[in-house]
Chain A
Amino acid sequence: ETGVTQTPRHLVMGMTNKKSLKCEQHLGHNAMYWYKQSAKKPLELMFVYNFKEQTENNSVPSRFSPECPNSSHLFLHLHTLQPEDSALYLCASSQDLIQPQHFGDGTRLSIL
């Protein structure tokens, strides 16, 4: 298996639920990213991890909690989300912070 894999592809959850999005990369990259893509808005960078250390938190609400246990895996833990959090969440990885980023297919999240 190669590339960047995100699971699940689709997630529907209530506002009081707790769920996690998973991202896995088999490219040997050292940097991983979470992006949010809402309708008719630019892609928004949420978090960046470089060598498992968080280097960027782009003013993301605390109801989103990232975790990077190793360079190959990245999680986004979700709790008490709001309807406006419904979006496509994309994970990406890159060899280092200025190399091209490779994206996963995304998780389509719907908050009821």
Chain B
Amino acid sequence: AQKVTQAQTEISVVEKEDVTLDCVYETRDTTYYLFWYKQPPSGELVFLIRRNSFDEQNEISGRYSWNFQKSTSSFNFTITASQVVDSAVYFCALTRNTDKLIFGTGTRLQVFP
């Protein structure tokens, strides 16, 4: 069975702090894809990144970085120097080579000025 766990329900930080959102996944497949989505208060889900199971390179995009560790089945997301606009719910998701995205329950990030 596939499962995504985001143990942190809610995180609060002050602007300019770094914050890491954890994501742990379970799958028996050797080929799979991991995603992070951001859901701002307006409601729409915004795609942030997709990573396939054969690519363990960490990725950095501006203030965002992702750490994919197959050994611990984790795909953590770090925001450096957080800003108020980063306040949102962040979802980690998993899929095999099919259409069904399995989402975690999300982590609500609040960044205070």
Is B44 an interface residue when CB atoms closer than 8 A count as contact?
yes
How many contacts between A and B, using CB within 8 angstroms?
55
Report the stretch among B67-75, B76-84, B98-106 that lies at the interface: B98-106
Residues of A within 8 A of B50 (CB): 100
A106–B89 CA distance with the chains assembled, in angstroms: 15
Instruction: Select B98's contact among A92, A97, A102, beta carbons within 8 Å.
Output: A97
Contact assessment for A40 and B44 in the assembled complex, using a CB-CB cutoff below 8 Å: no
A104 touches B44 (CB 8 A): yes
21 A-B pairs with CB atoms under 8 Å apart are A4-B44, A31-B99, A42-B104, A42-B106, A43-B101, A43-B103, A48-B99, A55-B99, A56-B100, A58-B100, A88-B43, A90-B44, A90-B45, A92-B45, A98-B33, A98-B95, A98-B97, A103-B47, A104-B44, A105-B44, A106-B43
- Please tell me the number of chain B residues within 8 Å of chain A, measured between CB atoms: 24
Is the Cβ of B99 less than 8 Å from the Cβ of A50? Answer: yes
Please give the number of chain A residues whose Cβ is less than 8 angstroms from any Cβ of chain B in the complex. 26
Residue ranges of A at the interface with B (Cβ–Cβ < 8 Å)? 4, 31, 33, 40-43, 45, 48, 50, 55-56, 58, 88, 90, 92, 97-98, 100-106, 108
Residues of A within 8 A of B105 (CB): 40-42
